[in-house]
Each structure stands twice: as C-alpha cells, then as structure tokens.
Amino acid sequence: MKNRAKFAVGISVIVFSLAFLAWLGYGESKTYYHTIAEYQTLHGSDLSRRMRLAGTVQEGSIHHIPGRVESAPGGKSAAPAGNSQSSM
C-alpha cells in the first residue's frame, strides 16, 4: 500500500508540473490584435506584448533596421523586432 501512495504522489507532481508549464506557455504565446487607432493609444508595457496590427500596410511605412523594426502607422511608432507583427 505504501508503494501505491508514493506512486500516486509522484504521478500527481508530474501531472501538476506539466499542467503548470502548459499554462505558462499559453500565457506567453498570446497575441493581441489591434487596429491602427488602438495601437496609437497604447502605452508602457502594452507596447512590449506580442501583437498583430489589422489593416493594410502602406508602402514605405515599415523600415527594417538590424534588431528592430520601425513602422509608422499614423506617423509615430516603433517596436523592437519580434514584439509586433503586421498582418494584412
């Protein structure tokens, strides 16, 4: 009986750990969808989240610089590479 209890505790710890890691991964992989108007109102830590922008990309509005992508929706925004994505 004692072996079964140890086995049950071990399995419970493993299952709990996997569930916790899955929950953390889910939270890190969220992508927020914003319109250009919403993007222009974002401040602080909201700008560092993964996001996609809705709309059409205007030719010449995205500039690729090593380690950074600058975009100009409405003329005033910049985001570190990997933190924002543009979708059409």
Mean pLDDT, the chain, as a whole number? 74
- Residue pLDDT, tens place only, 11-47: 999 999 999 999 988 877 776 777 878 877 887 777 7
Q: What is the pLDDT of residue 72?
A: 63
pLDDT band at 62 (very low <50, low <70, confident <90, very high): confident
* Burial (CB count within 10 angstroms: exposed 0-12, middle 13-18, buried 19+), residue 42: middle
Q: Is the pLDDT of residue 75 over 70?
A: no
% of the chain residues with pLDDT over 90 = 22
Which residues have a Cβ under 8 Å from the Cβ of 33 and sit 6 or more positions away? Answer: 51, 52, 53, 54
Q: Compute and round to an integer the Cα radius of gyration of the chain.
A: 21
* Secondary element (H or E) of residue 40: helix 36-40
pLDDT: is 76 or 73 the higher one?
73
Locate 87 and state its tokens.
């979708």
